[in-house]
């Protein structure tokens, strides 16, 4: 099954990030979190793929902006309002 590992990424382009992270594995789910930060929660199929995504894409430069990629536990965002 799908692991409860996730990569939240700040920006607006959902399809870009889904495609970017699909380079390291299967993207299981993408959720946009409410708020001004425009954070995407990207769930990968397993922990190894999430780790690889973090390694390859944290501080990745895109359109003169450096991406911020980090882990988030599902339980910590479970109560968060989603779009």
- The backbone torsions φ and ψ at residue 47, rounded to the nearest 5 degrees and listed phi first, read -65, -40
Burial per residue of 33-67, b for 16 or more beta-carbon CB atoms within 10 angstroms, e otherwise:
beeeeebbbbbbbeeebbbbbbeebeeeeeeeeeb
DSSP 46: S
3 state DSSP class of 74: helix
The pTM (predicted TM-score) of the whole model is: 0.68
pLDDT at residue 65 greater than cutoff 50: yes
Predicted local distance difference test score (pLDDT) of residue 18 = 85
Asked if 40 contacts 34 with a C-beta cutoff of 8 angstroms, the reply is no
Predicted local distance difference test score (pLDDT) of residue 73 = 65
Predicted local distance difference test score (pLDDT) of residue 37 = 64
Residue 26: in which H helix or E strand, if any? none
Q: Could you report the per-residue pLDDT of 7-64, keeping only the tens digit for each?
A: 445 444 778 888 888 999 999 888 877 776 667 788 888 889 999 999 999 888 887 8
């Amino acid at each position: 099954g799908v692991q409860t590992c996730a990569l939240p990424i700040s920006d607006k382009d959902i399809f870009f990030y889904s495609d970017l992270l699909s380079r390291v594995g299967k993207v299981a789910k993408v959720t946009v979190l409410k708020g001004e930060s425009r954070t995407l929660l990207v769930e990968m199929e397993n922990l190894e793929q999430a780790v690889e995504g973090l390694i390859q894409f944290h501080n990745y430069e895109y359109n003169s902006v450096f991406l911020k990629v980090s882990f988030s536990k599902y339980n910590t965002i479970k109560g968060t309002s989603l779009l």
